[in-house]
Amino acid sequence: MAAALRPRHSGFPGLEPDRVAAKMCMVTDSPDGQFLLGRLHPGSRIIVASGDTGHGFKHAPAIGELAAQIALGETPFIDLDFLDPARFAADRPLVRPIGR
Q: What pTM, to 2 d.p., does this model score?
A: 0.62
* CA gap 74, 54 in Å, rounded: 27
- Over residues 7-19, the pLDDT tens digits come to 555 666 676 667 6
The contacts of residue 18 (CB under 8 Å, 6+ apart) are 1, 2
For residues 6 and 98, which has the higher predicted lDDT (pLDDT)? 6
- Over residues 26-82, the pLDDT tens digits come to 666 777 878 899 998 888 899 999 877 667 778 889 999 999 999 999 999 999 999
For residues 100 and 16, which has the higher predicted lDDT (pLDDT)? 16
